[in-house]
Structure 1
C-alpha cells in the first residue's frame, strides 16, 4: 500500500512539473510589419513542450513563411522569447523585358500587398509560377522569369525587386493526331475541337499551343462521342514538345467502346409528392420528345438526356415545385441503354450570397445575368447546373466552377470561380478560284470588349472584282433579356462590268436584334439604310433597270433571317442539315420602287459508312410592290458554284453576253456523292460525283434571250484538304443549256469548296 502511494505521489509530481515546463508563454520581439496575432496564429501563444525539438519546430514554421531573415531564441523559467528580424520591405518593383503584358496589367492580376509588401521568397516564387501560367495560357511556353533583390540606397531596410523576362516566342501546334478513332475520321474530329494545327496560308489563324485548350478539347471530343452513341468513351492526350521551331505535336488517344442505342425511357416518382395529373403530363413531355427527336435516329445521345432533364425541370418549376433533384440512371442491355429519370424531393435551400472570384476583367454583371437564381431565391442542383452551362456558353472563360457553402437555417452561399482567357482573335486568309479569282480576307474579332460581353467584328474581304469592309458591334442582354442588339456599318465595291456592264459602290448602316428562338434556331432582324451608286461601264449593253438607277440611290431595307444550323462542320460537313430563310422588304418609297424578296436555302448531309451523300437547294422569289421592273442586281442569278458547268451569271435570261438580266424566281438543286480516298490521313482526299439542276425565270420586260428552261449538268471532282487549305478541282458537263449561256466546265478553288 505504501509503495502504491509513493508511486502515485511521484507520478503526480513529475507530471505537474512537466506540465509547468510545457506551458511557457511565447514572447515576440523585433517584428515591425507583421502583427503579433499573425505570428501567434502560426505558433500559438503558449508552448506545448520546452524540448529543443519543439523549439526547432517553432523556428522552422516561422522560417517556412518566408517572412523572416533571422530568428533567435532565449528561454527563462516562464517564457520563451523570440527575437525576429523581418525580411526587408520592398520599396520598388521593376519589370524588365516584359513585352506581352505591361507592368500595370501584371500588377492588376496579383495583389501587391500579398506578394510585394516585403521580401518573401516563397511568395515571389509563387508569383513567378502563377505569372508563367498566365503567359502559357497565351501560348508563351518558353517563358522564363528570374529576379534580383537590390538594396535601396535611399531607404533603410528596404530593397528594390527586379524581375527579368525572357518571353520567347509563342509555341505553335505542329500536328494533331488521333489514335484509336475507328468511327470518325480526323477531319470530323478536328471540326469538334478548338485547337488548330499549323496552316501555311491562314498564317494568322490561332494555332497557339495552350495546355488548357487541349484539356478542354478532350471534353469536347468526349461530348461529341457521347452524343453519337458512344456512352463509354475514354479519351486522354499527350503533348510532344519539338524544341526545333518551338512547336508541339498533340496526340489524342481514343477508346471508343461500344456504340449504343436508346432502349426504354421512363420516369420514376416514388421519391417525390406530385399528383397523378402532373405525372401524366410529365410522361407526355417525355413521350413527345422521344417521338419528335429520338425515334427517327435511336442512337444514344447524351445531349438528349440533358434536354429532357431541362424540360422536366421547367415543368416542375412552372407547377410550383422547387425543391427536387433529377437523377439520370442508365442500365445496359447488350447494345441498348435503358434510361430512368429518378425525380426526388430535396431539402429546402435558399441562396444567401452569390460571390464571384477570378473575374479580373469581366464585370460581375456579365456573370450574374447568366444565373438562373438570385440572392434570396430557392435553389436546387438543376438550377446550379443550368447556371454553369449558361456561363460556359459565354465562351469567355477558360474554366467555370460553382461551389455551395452550407450555412445555418437552410441557407447556402454560392461561390463562382472563373478563370479568364483571351477572347480576341485576328485572322488572315487567302483563297483562289477560277470564278472569283484571288480573295484576301482579314478580320479582327473580340467577344468581351471592356469586360461587359460586348462583341466587335471587323472584316475586310477583297478580290479581283469585289471589295467589302464590314464593322459590326453586338451588345448582349438588351432590356435585361437574352436579346442581342446589333449595329454596324459596311462599304462595298462590286465590278459587274464583264457580266452586266456596270459597277456599284454601296454604303450601308444597320441596326437590329438577334436572339435564339429554339435549340439551333436563331432569328435576326435588322433595319438597314443603304446608299448605292451605280456606275455604267457600257451604256449600250447595260439593262434598262440599271440604266434608270445610274447615279446615287437611297433605300431602306427590313431584313428578317431565320437560321437553323445543325451541320457538324463548316469546311467538310459529313452529316446534319442547314436551313435558312431570308425575307427582305424594301418599301415603295425607295429609289427602286420597293419589293419583297424571299430566299430559302437547305443543305442536308447523310453519311453511310464512308460515303457522304448531300443535297443542297435554294428557292427564291422577288415581287415588285408597284408592279414595275426590278433592278437586275436585286434579282436572282444562276451559275458558278450553284450550277456547276456554267459561269457565274452564266445561265438564265440576258440581253447580251455583257448584259445579264436574271429573273424574279430561282430554283436550284445540287446532288453530291462524296467518298474519301484516304480516310485517316492528315490531308484527306475526297472523290466527288455530282449533278446539278436549276432555273431562273420571270421578268416583267422580256429580255432578248429569255428561255425559261431547266439547266442541268453532271460531273466529278477531287477535294484535297491540304496544309495550305482545301483545294478543289471539278469538271462539269452541261446536260441541258441554251446557246446564249456561258459555260465553264472546269472549276479550281483554294479555300472555298462549298
Structure 2
C-alpha cells in the first residue's frame, strides 16, 4: 500500500479548521466501486470540519477493497477529492514449463483468469501453489519466475515460467523388525519404493520419491499386517536421508509386528431389530478361529449396511468394533447397528439430459416415487444408466428430506452418440473408395438406434440400413430390423449378397435378456474363373439362407464403452434350413470380465479379459461365407481381418492359398487400460491376444498377437486405433500392424 501524503490536508485543516467545513466530496478515476458503495466507505462527512484521521481511514477503506494501485486525497476550499489509480486487468496468462497443455491443472494451480485484476499477492499465492505441486510430485529445488508485461492497451500479460527441480530417487529401502513377512510384499501397498534395475520399464519400480505419500505409507504397511491378523503392529514414520548432491535417498522403517490374533466370536447387536441376526451373520465373510483380516472386516460392515439398507433403512449406521484379548491373542468382532427408520422415495428429479428424454432415463431406474429405498437398487440404477452408452457419466444424489423421506437427483452428463462420416480413400485392393455413414445410438434422445451406410469402390459395394429399439414403448421388449446389399469382386470371382433380418427381445431382469430373430439372404457368385482357382465348383454355388437365431445375454457392467466392473456373457444359436438352401447350425459364445484396479494402483487402471468360442455343424450345406475366419479386431490382432483360415491346398490367381474357413474357433485376450490424456478422454491399452481355428480341430491353426491401442472419445464417436504385432506368424500369413474402429465398445 502506498503511503498517503496528508501534509496539504493537515495544513489546510490547521488554517481553516475553525471556519472551514467540508462543502462537497468527489471521486476521480473510480471504476470498480460505485459511488453508493464509496459513500458507505467514506468517513469524511459533508458539513463537518475536515478531519485528517477520517481522511486517512477512508483512504485505507478504499485500498482494502483490492481494486486500486494507489489512492490519495486533496482539499480545496472545502471541496475534498479522492483520486484513484486502478489496478490493470490481466488480458493474457500463461504457464510454461509445467502442465502447459493441462487446462484443468492450470485452473487449479493459478486460480487466476483473464479479466482478473493484476494483484501481486494473488500472483505470489499462485507461485506457491505451483512449487507445492512440484514438491508433491517429488521435485525439489524447483524455481518459478513470474514475468509481467504491460501491453499497449494498458492491460497486463502474466507468464509463470517453471523450472522443474530434480526428482529424488530412493536407492535403498530397508525394514527393521520384520520377522514373519516378506518385505517385498510391501511393494504392492506403498507408494515410495526402492529403485530397481531398469526401473523405467513397465512393472518395475522407478524409485521416484512421492513426498505427499510419505505420511500414508506407514498406514499402508500397518494395513498390510492387519490383513494378516497382526492387530498390535506398529510402524514408525520413515527415516529419510537425502544426498542433495546426487538427489538420492535412503529410507528405513522401524516395524514392530506383534502377534497374530484369531477371531474368537462374531456378534451383531441391533438397536431396533429389523432382521434376523442370522441373516446378517450369513453375509459376514470373517470366520471364527481364523486369523483376523481388517479388509474383510470393513467389507463385512459394508455388506451388513447393504443388507439392511435394501430393506428401506437408508440412514442405517453400522459401527464395527473389536474387543481384543491380548493374553489369548484373540479378538471378538462386534457390529452395532442403528437402522433408523424406513425411508421412502418422495421424488426422482432428472437433470443434465438436455437431449435424452426424461422417460428414457427413468425407465433405467429401479427406484421411483413412492418406492421403499434400496441401496442395491440405487447402485444398479447407476450401472444401468452407464450401460446404455447415452451418458458420459452419471450420479444419483440422495437428498434427505426428513427421517422417512428422500429425493433422488439424477445428474447425467450426456455423451455423443451419433456421428456422420464422409470419407474417401484409396486401397491396394479396392482402389478408390467413397463412403457415407450416418449412425446414432440415441436418435433424437429417444433411445432408438439408427444406422445408414453407403460405400462404393472399384471392387466393393456395400449398402446397409438398421434400426433397433431396446425398449419398445418403454417396455421390457425390444425390436430390430436391418437390410443390406453388398458385393465384392475378387481376382477369380465376384460375390454378392442381399438380405434382411428382423427380431424381438425381452429383458427378463436387470441383467438377463433374450432374443429371437429371423434372417434371410440371397448369396450369388459370378465371374468365376474355375481354371485358375479351385477344382471344386461347389464352393461357388449360389444359395439362399433362411435361419432363426435364439440368444441370451447377461450383462451387469457399469458402463457401455469403458466398464470398470462386472461381466458380460452371451450365447447364441443360429439354425439355418427353415427354407432356403443352406442347412447348418452355429453356436457363438462370448465372455468378458472387467475390473477396475484403482484402489490397488491409485490410478484408473482397468483389467479386461475377453473370450470367444464359435462352432458350426453342417447338416446339409454350410457355405464358405458362413464358416468362421480369424484375425483382426475381435479375435487376434496383428493379422488382417478374416485372414486366418484353413485352406484346401489350391491357390488363386495371385498365388495365395484358397481359404475355406473353419468350423470351430476360440480366441481370447487380456488387456490393461490406463488413462493417457484424461481431459481429452483418451486411454492407452496394452493387450495380448491368442486364438485357434480349425476345420475338425482347434489345434490346426494357432496364432497370437500383442500391441497397444489408443481409445479416444473423439468428436465423431468412440475411436480405437490399434497398433499390433503378430506372435508365431508363419510364411504366407497376412499380417496387419494397424487397424481402427469407430463406435464399438472398448
Q: What TM-score results when the alignment is normalised by the length of structure 1?
A: 0.46
Bigger RCO (CA 8 Å, 6+ sep): 1
Q: What TM-score results when the alignment is normalised by the length of structure 2?
A: 0.46
